[in-house]
Chain A
Amino acid sequence: MDLYLPVANLSVNALVIVLLGGGVGFLSGMFGVGGGFLTTPLLIFYGIPPTVAAASAATQVTGASVSGVMAHLERDGVDLRMGAVLVAGGLLGSLIGAGLFELLTAWGQIDTVISVLYVALLGTVGTFMGREAWGSYRAAQAGLPAPARKRRHHPMVANLPLRWRFYRSGLYISPLAPLLLGMIGGVLTMLLGVGGGFIMVPAMLYLLGMGTQVVVGTSLFQILFVTIATTMVHALTTGAVDIVLAGLLLLGSVVGAQFGARFAQKARPEYLRLALAVIVLLVALQMAVGLFIRPDEIYSVQ
C-alpha cells in the first residue's frame, strides 16, 4: 500500500512503516526506552531524508513514552523536581541543537556528525550495558545475588556549587548537574531524533546516583517533554516533521509498546538488559560500517 509523504516528498509502503513502528514499539515497551535510536537509522536506511527521519522519530518517541510516564506517575515513580530541572535543561539543549543543526547542514557535515555520534554513543552505552548485564547474568546463573552497585554520585557532580534537595531521588546535589545532563539530552534529541533514554538512564544512575525506583520514570518524564519541544523546534526551524510518517510510526509503535511491556513482565530482567545491549551494539556496528565503506551515493544535493 503506497502512501505519499507530503513533507519527505516521496512514496513509501505504509505497511512497512507501520510494522517498523510496531517492531521498535515492541522493543521500547519491553526495555523501557523510547526507541528513537532504532527508528532514525531504520528510516534513513529505508530512504527517508535524514532530517525528516530524525524530526519524525522524535514525534514518535513522544507517543511511545506517554503511557510509560502515566504508569510511573501513578506509582509515584517520578521525581518531579528532578524532572523539571532536566526538562529545563532539555529545552535549552533543543534550542542549542537547532542552532547546531543549521550550522552543520550549511557546512554539509550533518549526516557524518549524526553517524559518528550514533557510533560513539551507542558503542559506549552498549558496551557498558553489556558488561553490566553479563555480570548479573553470570551471577544469576551461579545462583548468587546480583552484585550490589554502590550508589554515589560522581565526584565532579559533588564539586558543583549550589545545592538542592531532591527528596524522591534521595539526593542533595547541585541542580546544575541535572540541568547540564538534560541539556545534552536535548541536543541529542534534536540532532539524532532519539529520546536519549539510553544515555539518560545510565547517566542518572552512575553520574547523579539517583535512586533506581525513580530513574526510569523520571527519564521518561524528561523524554516526553523534550521530544515535544524538539517536535516544535523542528516544526519551526527545519520544517522536517512529516506528520503522515510520524502517524504511521505511532500507529505501529503505541500498539507494539503495549505488547512489549506485557512480554517484559514475563522475562528475566538480566536477559532483557543483555538483549538490549546486543541490539544497541548491532546498530552501532551497522552505523560504523556505513562510515568506513564506500557509500552508494558519492554526490548529494542540498
Chain B
Amino acid sequence: MMCRAALILWLAALMLPVGTAKAADPRLVPDVSSRAIDIQYSFTGEELLLFGAILYPDQRLPDDRADIVVVLKGPMRPIVLREKRRVAGIWVNASSIRLRTSPGFYAIGSSRPIDKLVDERTAAIFELGLANLSMSPTEFSEASKLQRFEAGLTDLYRRLGLFYENPAAVEITEGVLYRARIPVPARVPVGTYRAETFLISRGRVLAVASRDVQIRKAGFERFVALAAQRHGFLYGLTAVILSLLLGYAASAIFRRR
C-alpha cells in the first residue's frame, strides 16, 4: 500500500511540470550544431554546440531569472564494473557489480550550479548531475557498495572525458537565446545520443525539449569496424594476408639491395 502510494506520488511529481503546461508556459526550441558526428580516420574528439531559444508567451520576459540546463547522454548499455583490491600482495579484480543501464557518455552543462537551481528531489527525478544517474544494478547489493562503485565509475569516466560536468557551460543571451559547448572525446562510444534542454525557474522545471544526435563511425573506419564484427573470417584472412605481404615485401626489397 505504502509502495503504491509512493509510486503514485512519484509519477505525479514526474508529470507535474509537463502536466501543468498551459498555453501560457514558455517553450524551448532547441538545436544542435550537428545531428550526426562522424568518426573518421583523424577523429580526436569534437565539440558539440547545443543552442536554442526560449519562447515566452506574449514575448514578454518573466521577472524571475530563468536558467538552462543541457544534458547530452549517450548509448545506455549494460556493463560489468570491476574493482581491484590487493589480494596476497598483488592487485586483482576482487569484486564487481552489474549495471543494467549505464550511459557510455554523459555531459551536463548549466548556467548556474545544479544545486542552486533545483532541490535534490527534482534533480533526482530528472537525473540532473552525475550523482543522480540511475544505473539500475541487476542484483541487490548494499547501498554503501553501490555508492562506492558508482563513485569509482564516475571518477574513471570523468578522467576519460566520458562524464563531464560544467556549471558554467550555458550562456544565456538577452534572456531568450542560449548556447553551450559540450566536448566529445575520441573515446566516445558510437550510438544514438539524446541532447536534452531544461528550462528551470524558481526551482521548477518549466519546459523540457530534446533532440537526437547520432555518433557513428564513417567511411573506412565504419567499414573496418563492421567487417570485424560481421565478417570475422574474411576480416581475419585480410589481416593475415596483409601481414604476409608486408613481411614478404620487406624481405624481397631488402634482399635486392
Segment of A138-146, A176-184, A228-236 engaged in the interface with chain B: A228-236
B167 contacts the other chain (CB 8 A):
no
Contact pick for A108, options B40, B79, B80, CB 8 Å: B80
* A4-B42, A62-B247, A246-B243 known; A232+B79 contact, CB < 8 A: no
Residues of A within 8 A of B17 (CB): none
How many A-B pairs have beta carbons closer than 8 Å: the answer is 166
Contact pick for B80, options A111, A247, A257, A301, CB 8 Å: A301
Task: Report Cα–Cα, A244/B81, bound state, in Å.
Answer: 29
Q: How many residues of A contact B (CB 8 A)?
A: 54
Contact pick for B248, options A67, A239, A241, A246, CB 8 Å: A67
B250 contacts the other chain (CB 8 A):
yes
Cβ distance A117 to chain B, nearest Cβ, rounded Å? 13
Residues of B within 8 A of A247 (CB): 242, 246
A129 contacts the other chain (CB 8 A):
no
Contact pattern, A 1-14, Cβ under 8 Å of B = 1, otherwise 0: 01110110111000
Segment of A86-94, A158-166, A188-196, A288-296 engaged in the interface with chain B: A288-296
Chain B's closest residue to A254 (CB) is: B250
User: Does the CB pair B243–A250 fall under 8 Å?
Assistant: yes
Cβ distance A227 to chain B, nearest Cβ, rounded Å? 8
Task: Report Cα–Cα, A60/B82, bound state, in Å.
Answer: 30
* A7-B228, A236-B233, A299-B153 known; A243+B238 contact, CB < 8 A: yes
Residues of B within 8 A of A293 (CB): 91
Residues of A within 8 A of B80 (CB): 108, 301-302
Contact pick for B233, options A10, A232, A242, A302, CB 8 Å: A232
* A291-B91, A299-B83 known; A66+B242 contact, CB < 8 A: no
Residues of B within 8 A of A9 (CB): 187, 189
Interface of A is mostly: helix
Residues of B within 8 A of A59 (CB): 239-240, 242-243
B236 contacts the other chain (CB 8 A):
yes
User: Does the CB pair A231–B239 fall under 8 Å?
Assistant: yes
User: Does the CB pair A241–B42 fall under 8 Å?
Assistant: no
User: Does the CB pair A70–B251 fall under 8 Å?
Assistant: yes
User: Does the CB pair A10–B187 fall under 8 Å?
Assistant: yes
Chain A's closest residue to B159 (CB) is: A297
* A235-B236, A299-B81, A300-B93 known; A6+B251 contact, CB < 8 A: no
Residues of A within 8 A of B82 (CB): 108, 299-302
Chain B's closest residue to A61 (CB) is: B243
* A6-B224, A11-B44, A232-B236 known; A112+B246 contact, CB < 8 A: no
What are 7 residue pairs bridging A and B, where the CB atoms are less than 8 Å apart in the complex?
A4-B221, A6-B222, A7-B228, A70-B248, A239-B228, A250-B246, A300-B82
